[in-house]
Structures are given as C-alpha cells and as structure tokens.
Copies of this chain bind each other. A is one copy, B any other.
C-alpha cells in the first residue's frame, strides 16, 4: 500500500502527498533531513517532516526571494545569503552578472551535502568562483561581520528552534548595520493564511519599519508551502521596487524565469484586504 506524508500547516490541517520511495534519512545536529520521491512534486526535501524543497516548484520560492530585490538594486555587487543551504537561492543570485561575490552562511552543512546528491540542479552553481560557503550560525556571523553588503537575503526555515532568531528585531538591526547606505534586506516571511503567522508577519513588519525607510511586503503563490500563499518582506534603505529604473532593467535583462516577470514585480506587492488590515507598507 502506498505511503502518504502529511506536511502539517496546523495540528489539524496539511498538504498530503503520496511517497513513492523514501530515498534518504539522516539526523544532523540541527534537524532530521529526509528525501522522498513523489508523484506530484518529484524529489522533496523534508526538514523535521516539513516540506522545504521540491524538484517541481522550488523555482517559485527561490525566484521570488531573490529577483525582486536583485532588480530593485541598481548594482547588487556583494550579496549575503543567510540560510539557503539547498543553494536554490544562490543559483538565482548568480544569474546576475553584476553580482561579484555571494557569501552564504548556512548553519547545517548536512543540508548542502544532501542537496548536492539529490538536487544537483541547485548546487551546480557552487562551481561558480563568486560563491563562498560558510557553515556557521547566521546570527553570530552578522554580529561579527559588518562588511558592507548591497543585498542580504534571509532564506530561513520556519520561526521555531534555531531559526526563531532570524525573525527578531535584533537580527534585522544587525542586517541593517551590515548593509551599505543603499542596501536592501529581503526575508522570507511565512504564510498570511495561517492566523498565528499573520501575527508574526505584522510584528516583523513593525520591526523592519522601525529600521528601514522603505518596507514593502509581497506575495507569491507556492503550492507546496503552507496554505499556498507565501509572504516576503523587502526592507530597503534607498531604492523603491516600483521605480522606472527597475522596469528599465527588467526590460533589458536577458534572464528568463518560470514564475517571476515584470508584471509580477509590480503585482506581487498588492496585498489582499485581510493582509492590509494587519500591515501597512511604507511604500504603496
């Protein structure tokens, strides 16, 4: 009989899918890592039973965490990724020729090692000499390194356990300090459809607004993440994601994506009324 996995969104709901084969399991100092093969999503990486990466639709999350900020900044030269061990975000950052260096600080080396075996399409970018991997705690790294980044992307797991600190104001303040005077921070910010997470989104939004003049939350449809709708928050010291310059860069760029495009760069920032009731962007 076929085995099914349920990716819980609450104790009483979740996304269920058939597991054709359990390919790998191992427990790192931080979490249990499983790789399963599925009919609908291809290979899937689970961290402590929570769906993180799929062959079939990883592009939505990774494009949407990275591209809106990469196109908003006129010259993203030095980029820092916190988390992102599967390298899907890193691969999309390196698509931009203006990027000269990307430092990725992932806490769990085993995630990257497993990704190399099961998601080689994501980790192939590690051959790029512009990529530098550090396996360490991102929070501690940022406390010690204020190196002048153009862009910081926070590609974290959910706000529990070792990742909880990546959703706190102290961490955002360290990010602010590590950015150049025109830098941009962009974080993954969970699903507004889950009531507890919408409260967290609102708190994060307030914290970011206390630090950055421009805070622009935006959304993407991710079928394999909780409730199918995912939020990101861009916090920018100078640049607006809606300036004519952004769209001029987009029309000139010779990059093709599977989800992101110029229409999405504008539309992703439109918030449904139930989200607008909880958070107010500083830029509309």
Cross-chain contact of A12 among B18, B267, B269 (Cβ < 8 A)? B18
Within 8 A of B (CB), among A15-60: 15-18, 38-41, 57, 60
For residue A271, CB closer than 8 A to chain B, the reply is yes
- Chain B residues in 8 Å Cβ range of A267: 266-270
For residue A223, CB closer than 8 A to chain B, the reply is yes
* CB–CB B13/A16 < 8 A: yes
- Give the interface residue-count category, chain A: 35 or more
* CB–CB B274/A270 < 8 A: no
- The chain B residue with its CB closest to the CB of A271 is B263
- Chain B residues in 8 Å Cβ range of A266: 267, 270
- The chain B residue with its CB closest to the CB of A277 is B258
Cross-chain contact of A274 among B13, B15, B39, B258 (Cβ < 8 A)? B258
- Chain B residues in 8 Å Cβ range of A259: 272-274
* CB–CB A257/B228 < 8 A: no
* CB–CB B270/A263 < 8 A: yes
For residue A173, CB closer than 8 A to chain B, the reply is no
- The chain B residue with its CB closest to the CB of A16 is B16
For residue A101, CB closer than 8 A to chain B, the reply is no
Within 8 A of B (CB), among A245-282: 256-261, 263-264, 266-274, 276
17 contacts between A and B (CB under 8 A): A6-B16, A10-B40, A12-B17, A13-B16, A13-B18, A14-B17, A193-B221, A221-B228, A222-B228, A223-B229, A258-B272, A258-B273, A259-B272, A259-B273, A260-B273, A261-B273, A267-B269
Q: Which residues of A are in contact with B by a Cβ distance under 8 Å? A: 2, 6, 9-18, 38-41, 57, 60, 193, 219, 221-223, 227-229, 256-261, 263-264, 266-274, 276, 284
Known: A13-B41, A228-B229, A257-B273. 8 other contacts (CB 8 A): A12-B18, A57-B193, A227-B228, A228-B228, A256-B273, A259-B274, A261-B276, A263-B284
